[in-house]
Amino acid sequence: MEFPKDLKFAKSDEWVRLEGKTATIGISDYAQSQLSDIVFVEVTAAVGETLDQGASFASVESVKAASEVYLPLKGKVVAVNDGLPGTPELINSDPYGKAWMIKVEIADAGQAAGLMDAAAYAKYCDERSH
């Protein structure tokens, strides 16, 4: 299981790649492994929309379950990965690369301090696995 050191993680299993005031967001390798084979993705957020921290912005369905995806940082949506709904399996094969879901312009950079680094998230995932 991968936990890239350049990412931050939320307890709800989203990852965040911070680049200046922009955050790229997707679901973690741990989350996709728990869901199993992803068969459907719907990003409900639209470019230009401002969403609060904790707002649902996507849903993911696998052969096992359906799950909402939540925004770890308040921000304005600046990009949506339009190719993902046609290739939901990318979440399983490349969760931190081609399977990014949205990019937001961060409204409150201080919220990032509440996210876990890779080591803390790896420990959190390990605790839930036992």
Answer whether residue 71 shows pLDDT above 80.
Answer: yes
Domain 8-106 belongs to what architecture? Beta Barrel (2.40)
Q: Tell me the whole-structure pTM to 2 decimals.
A: 0.96
| Measured CA distances, 57 to 6, 86, 127 (Å) | 23, 17, 27
Answer whether residue 97 shows pLDDT above 90.
Answer: yes
DSSP code string of 92-117: HH-TTTTT--EEEEES-GGGGGGSB-
d(CA 34, CA 41): 16
- Each domain of the chain, given as residue ranges in start order, spans 8-106
Q: How confident is the model at residue 23 (pLDDT cuts 50, 70, 90)?
A: very high
Mean pLDDT of 61-84: 96
**What is the sign, positive or negative, of the torsion defined by CA atoms of 37, 6, 78, 51?**
positive
Answer whether residue 124 shows pLDDT above 90.
Answer: yes
Q: Which of 35, 10, 24 is nearest to 100 (CA)?
A: 24
Q: Which of 124, 95, 119, 92 is nearest to 17 (CA)?
A: 95
Q: How confident is the model at residue 59 (pLDDT cuts 50, 70, 90)?
A: very high
Q: Which two tokens stand for residue 51?
A: 């969403």
Q: What does the pLDDT read at residue 129?
A: 82
Mean pLDDT over each residue of the chain, to the nearest integer: 96
Q: What does the pLDDT read at residue 76?
A: 98
Q: What does the pLDDT read at residue 130?
A: 76
